[in-house]
Amino acid sequence: MIFYSVLHSVLADDVLMKRYYYRWWYRFFYVLLSTVLLIPAWIIYLRLPDYYVFNPPLFLKILLYLIDILVLFFGYYASKSYDNNFFLGIEQIRYFFKYGVKEVKPEEKFIKSGALKYVRHPYYFAGIMLLWLRPLYYKDLVVNIIFTIYFILGAINEERKLTRKFGEEYLRYKKEVPMIIPFLKRRKD
């Protein structure tokens, strides 16, 4: 899981991967590789022994699953704020085959509507919630800790990119909207 997280982060970094980052094939390759590399990690995880560390009573399980459903709806709501075809690399491939464009950069527009008016990184929020709000086995603790750290570091890396790209406008947005936990406002000094 640590290897996967490090490799995934390196390949997602526009500075480290600047030679390839905007090439027409890169984003789709990145998504495909990320998915394929997650399969062996998932298989290993599934083969680990299952011993509960947190096995709540039925009413609490139901409550947690209901919260998970709400989080999934929030994730779907968040997806409306993004260009998912670009995110998956489909748009870049289409531009290449239709127009012969070899490098495709995303449109430079700053979006702070939809889920982004409540939290700066809604996908990371949803991921963390889905990791922790369920019955947990001991094997989940290690995986959850690794992926929670990965999501937080990913958000920090995204913040660096967005600050570089949008400057003062993004810095103002950071003051208004919480990073990962929605509705968590900073205290005024």
How far apart, in whole angstroms, are the C-alpha atoms of residue 42 and residue 23? Answer: 29
Inform me whether the pLDDT recorded for 185 exceeds 80: no
| Residues 22, 30 contacting (CB under 8 angstroms) | no
| Start-to-end C-alpha separation, the chain | 39
- Residue 95 sits at φ, ψ, to 5 deg, of -60, -40
Mean pLDDT of the 102-131 span? 94
| Residues 13, 159 contacting (CB under 8 angstroms) | no
| Residues 120, 155 contacting (CB under 8 angstroms) | yes
Q: Please indicate, yes or no, whether the overall pTM of this predicted structure exceeds 0.85.
A: yes
The residue whose two tokens read 């600050």 is 163
